[in-house]
């Protein structure tokens, strides 16, 4: 891997992270009133419920250092955020924002990564099969159905699955990640319970993503199938399976991986909403609670985490890409 | 006159030749006229809270039942659907205008301008749109439908900018553009007079995509409770329904209609943008 390629990608990553921090810094300051006024107002309106309100106010006064010049405030904000010091949460007090998020992150990552991987692999194979001239008519007739599926947003699909499989037929639980999250142990019953709860949210993400990956793969595959080296492979008398996997699909997958990097942001946004629909205890659920209690700093924390998670994933994908396709390194 | 007729004829022939386009135009026409036709048939005053008896299942009097806030669900749909469409079209329009301008400048001038615009576009594309919208919408708090459209438009220009830039890159090498350049036309005359008319079909295709993306973002903010509190848009109806546990209470007539209308809308917009892609990209036509 050439250094300039890697450096450019890392530069993009740093730019994204700084952009996110800067937006978090600027936006509240563009809203009318000074940044602590909103916090004070919230604290006053719920004065009795919040223990240690004075602590929080003191923390934010120091944090924003309202008398300091703006540039200094900005520098301090960047420094704190880069050290994962995101301040105190109001709704999860006395927890800090970063610890509330770190508790939720494993649930989100497990759900999002598994479901996206399944959707990507299944969708790509299906798309390749649809484009493959030797496929059965049944497979090839799936295309319009997948097109319609790819148009339906994650969240709406989640609501329908929720109604059909949890409310109507009661095959799956209505929400949550386990029957009793505190009683989770490393046992088979617990594992089955967790999978049972994760199935519908994961299915929403898989179904909503399937069509997108299948359509992309079909397009890439059709381009590859026109290439001369495939005709040569066939003339050599290679087995069709070998031509399909090692010659056609392998090359058609390359653009799919590029679009994976581009689509991740949308996928993450969509799955946050799926978590909200299923009360799944990941980042989406934290976000929902934060919004319900106008916990502005937690909202900012969720936004920052979302950007950071996707940026890390995109960076890893882009650094891995030249290993798969050396032509990209320019 | 003759040429206009011929263009209209060609357009009709094209629409007739694409089943995707026929279906999407029909469904969109249905949804866009739903508000005006509906308000002639249904009393829209019933979309106000506490105007009817609460929690009634569908009946002859209330075709889609009533919700827990005392609203007639059919009336809410008649009022809400145009609001959602308005938000999407407005945001998509602003996004596409900015995207086309940036794409033109970036593709035509190349060099440092192109590098800066492309880098910003690519960077913005990898940021989850929800993250930025959340921060902005949560700090603005009380939003109207139009304000939401403007906020969402801030994140709707990247895809149009990318598509238009790619098209301009190949257009600017064509002989007629070289010709214009040699005959001494200024850069802006070339961009607006020669290039812009040729990217209009593509701009329209990405407009449809931008509208769909904007409605998706709007729905995301709304179901999280960050939408316009006093306007019954489709997303806000889903938000209220979930907040009052319409699922567990078996009130399918409350959350069902907005979900169904949104799904129809997304499928129609998707089919239309797929069909328009085939216009802008004739190679795709033989494939399917």
Banded pLDDT at B93 (limits 50, 70, 90): very high
Distance CA B53, CA B6 (A): 56
Tokens of A68: 């300091």
Residue A70 has pLDDT above 80, yes or no: no
Banded pLDDT at A44 (limits 50, 70, 90): low
Banded pLDDT at B282 (limits 50, 70, 90): low
> By percentage, how much of chain A surpasses pLDDT 90?
19
Banded pLDDT at B287 (limits 50, 70, 90): very low
Banded pLDDT at B248 (limits 50, 70, 90): confident
**Residues in B 214-273 with any Cβ partner in A closer than 8 A:** 216, 219-220, 223-226, 238, 242, 247-248, 250, 252, 255, 259, 262-263, 266-267, 269-271
Range of weakest confidence among A29-38, A313-322, B44-53: A29-38
Q: pLDDT at position A37, please?
A: 56
State which residue of chain B sits closest to A29, comparing Cα positions.
Answer: B139
Rg value, chain A, Cα: 24
The closest of B78, B48, B46, B73 to B59, measured between CA atoms, is B73
Banded pLDDT at A33 (limits 50, 70, 90): low
Average pLDDT over residues A120-146: 89
Residue to mutate among A261, A296, A303, with most B CBs inside 10 A, is: A303
DSSP string of A144-192, one letter each residue: HHHHHHHHS-HHHHHHHHIIIIIIIS--S-SSSSSS-GGG--SSHHHHH
Element (H, E) at A72: helix A70-82
State which residue of chain B sits closest to A275, comparing Cα positions.
Answer: B224
Residue A28 has pLDDT above 90, yes or no: no
Element (H, E) at A319: helix A296-324
Q: pLDDT at position A129, please?
A: 93
Q: pLDDT at position B246, please?
A: 85
Residue B58 has pLDDT above 60, yes or no: yes
| Exposure class string for A172-185: b at 16+ Cβ within 10 A, else e | bbebebbeeeeeee
Residue B45 has pLDDT above 90, yes or no: no
Tokens of B144: 């109207």
Tokens of B37: 């036709």
| Integer CA distances (angstroms), A80 to A26, A76, A104, A268, A303, in order | 15, 6, 21, 25, 16
Write down the ipTM of this complex.
Answer: 0.86
Distance CA B120, CA B125 (A): 9
Average pLDDT over residues B235-251: 88
The pLDDT tens digits for B181-229 are 889 888 888 988 889 998 988 899 899 999 999 999 999 999 988 888 8
Pairwise CB contact (< 8 Å): B266 & A152: yes
- Higher-confidence position of A246 and A43: A246
Pairwise CB contact (< 8 Å): A155 & B219: yes
Class of domain A97-324: mainly alpha
Residue B17 has pLDDT above 80, yes or no: no
Average pLDDT over residues B50-76: 85
Distance CA B155, CA B217 (A): 9
Residue B239 has pLDDT above 60, yes or no: yes
Instruction: Tell me which residue in B126, B132, B226 faces A291 most closely, judged by beta carbons.
Output: B226
Q: How far is A226 from chain B (nearest CA, A)?
A: 12
Residue A300 has pLDDT above 90, yes or no: no
Distance CA B199, CA B106 (A): 14
Q: Is B63 an 8 Å CB contact of chain A?
A: no
Chain center to CA of A35: 29
What's the sign of the alpha-carbon dihedral B177, B179, B181, B185?
negative
Q: pLDDT at position B288, please?
A: 43
Identify whether the C-beta of residue B38 lies closer than 8 Å to the C-beta of residue B77.
Answer: yes
Q: pLDDT at position A60, please?
A: 65
Given the structure tokens 């593509």, which residue do they identify? B202
Average pLDDT over residues A58-71: 66
State which residue of chain A sits closest to B234, comparing Cα positions.
Answer: A156
Residue A48 has pLDDT above 60, yes or no: no
Average pLDDT over residues B126-155: 86
The pLDDT tens digits for A157-185 are 999 998 899 888 888 887 777 776 666 66
Distance CA B30, CA B37 (A): 10
The closest of A79, A74, A154 to A116, measured between CA atoms, is A154
- SS3 state of residue B189: helix
Chain center to CA of B149: 10
Average pLDDT over residues A135-163: 88
State which residue of chain A sits closest to B274, comparing Cα positions.
Answer: A147
Residue A202 has pLDDT above 90, yes or no: yes
Q: pLDDT at position B281, please?
A: 66
Average pLDDT over residues A224-249: 90
| Exposure class string for B18-46: b at 16+ Cβ within 10 A, else e | bebbeebbebbeebeebbeebeeebebeb
Q: How far is B226 from chain A (nearest CA, A)?
A: 8
Q: pLDDT at position B98, please?
A: 95
Distance CA B103, CA B166 (A): 8
State which residue of chain B sits closest to A292, comparing Cα positions.
Answer: B225
**Chain B residues with beta carbon closer than 8 angstroms to that of A150:** 270
> By percentage, how much of chain A surpasses pLDDT 70?
85
Distance CA B169, CA A177 (A): 50
CB atoms within 10 A of CB A231: 11
Given the structure tokens 């659920």, which residue do they identify? A285
Average pLDDT over residues A49-69: 63
Identify whether the C-beta of residue A173 lies closer than 8 Å to the C-beta of residue A179.
Answer: yes
- Which stretches does DSSP call E strand in chain A? none
Pairwise CB contact (< 8 Å): B129 & A266: yes
- C-alpha torsion B272→B275→B280→B286, nearest 10: 170
Pairwise CB contact (< 8 Å): B123 & A16: yes
Average pLDDT over residues A86-91: 74
CB atoms within 10 A of CB A328: 14
Pairwise CB contact (< 8 Å): B252 & A155: no
Average pLDDT over residues A276-284: 88
């Amino acid at each position: 891997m050439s250094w300039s390629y890697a450096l450019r990608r890392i530069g993009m990553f740093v730019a994204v992270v700084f952009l996110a921090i800067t937006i978090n810094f600027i936006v509240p300051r563009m809203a009318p009133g000074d940044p602590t006024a909103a916090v004070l107002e919230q604290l006053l309106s719920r004065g009795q419920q919040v223990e240690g309100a004075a602590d929080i106010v003191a923390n934010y006064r120091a944090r924003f250092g309202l008398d300091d010049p703006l540039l200094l405030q900005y520098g301090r904000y960047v420094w704190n955020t880069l050290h994962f010091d995101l301040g105190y949460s109001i709704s999860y007090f006395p927890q800090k924002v970063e610890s509330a998020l770190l508790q939720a992150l494993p649930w989100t990552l497990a759900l999002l990564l598994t479901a996206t991987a399944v959707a990507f692999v299944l969708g790509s194979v299906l798309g390749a099969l649809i484009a493959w001239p030797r496929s059965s008519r049944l497979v090839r007739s799936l295309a319009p159905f997948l097109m319609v599926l790819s148009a339906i947003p994650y969240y709406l699909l989640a609501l329908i699955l929720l109604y059909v499989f949890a409310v109507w037929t009661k095959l799956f639980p209505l929400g949550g990640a386990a029957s009793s999250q505190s009683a989770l142990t490393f046992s088979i019953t617990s594992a089955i319970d967790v999978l049972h709860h994760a199935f519908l949210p994961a299915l929403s993400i898989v179904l909503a993503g399937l069509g997108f990956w299948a359509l992309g793969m079909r397009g890439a595959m059709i381009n590859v199938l026109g290439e001369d080296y495939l005709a040569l492979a066939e003339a050599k008398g290679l087995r069709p399976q070998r031509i399909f996997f090692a010659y056609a699909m392998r090359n058609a997958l390359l653009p799919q991986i590029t679009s994976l990097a581009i689509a991740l942001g949308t996928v993450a946004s969509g799955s946050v909403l799926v978590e909200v629909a299923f009360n799944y205890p990941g980042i989406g659920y934290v976000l929902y609670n934060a919004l319900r209690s106008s916990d502005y700093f937690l909202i900012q924390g969720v936004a920052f985490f979302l950007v950071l998670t996707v940026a890390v994933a995109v960076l890893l994908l882009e650094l891995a890409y030249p290993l798969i396709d050396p032509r990209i390194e320019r | 006159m003759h040429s206009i007729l011929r263009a209209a004829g060609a357009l009709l022939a094209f629409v007739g030749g694409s089943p995707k386009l026929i279906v999407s135009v029909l469904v969109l026409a249905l949804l866009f006229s739903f508000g005006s036709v509906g308000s002639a048939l249904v009393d829209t005053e019933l979309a106000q809270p506490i105007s009817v008896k609460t929690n009634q299942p569908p009946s002859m009097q209330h075709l889609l039942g009533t919700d827990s806030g005392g609203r007639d669900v059919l009336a809410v749909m008649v009022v809400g659907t145009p609001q959602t469409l308005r938000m999407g079209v407005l945001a998509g329009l602003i996004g596409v205008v900015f995207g086309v301008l940036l794409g033109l400048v970036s593709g035509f001038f190349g060099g440092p301008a192109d590098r800066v615009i492309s880098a910003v576009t690519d960077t913005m594309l990898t940021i989850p749109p929800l993250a930025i919208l959340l921060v902005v919408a949560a700090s603005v708090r009380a939003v109207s439908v139009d304000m939401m459209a403007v906020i969402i438009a801030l994140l709707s220009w990247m895809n149009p900018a990318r598509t238009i830039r790619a098209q301009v890159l190949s257009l600017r090498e064509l002989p007629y553009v070289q010709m214009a350049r040699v005959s001494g036309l200024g850069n802006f005359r070339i961009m607006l007079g020669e290039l812009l008319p040729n990217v209009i079909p593509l701009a329209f295709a990405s407009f449809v995509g931008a509208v769909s993306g904007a409605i998706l973002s709007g729905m995301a903010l709304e179901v999280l409770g960050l939408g316009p509190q006093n306007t019954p848009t489709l997303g806000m109806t889903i938000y209220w329904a979930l907040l009052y546990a319409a699922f567990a209470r078996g009130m399918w007539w409350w959350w069902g209609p907005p979900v169904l209308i949104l799904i129809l809308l997304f499928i129609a917009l998707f089919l239309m943008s797929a069909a328009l892609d085939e216009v802008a990209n004739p190679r795709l036509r033989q494939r399917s």
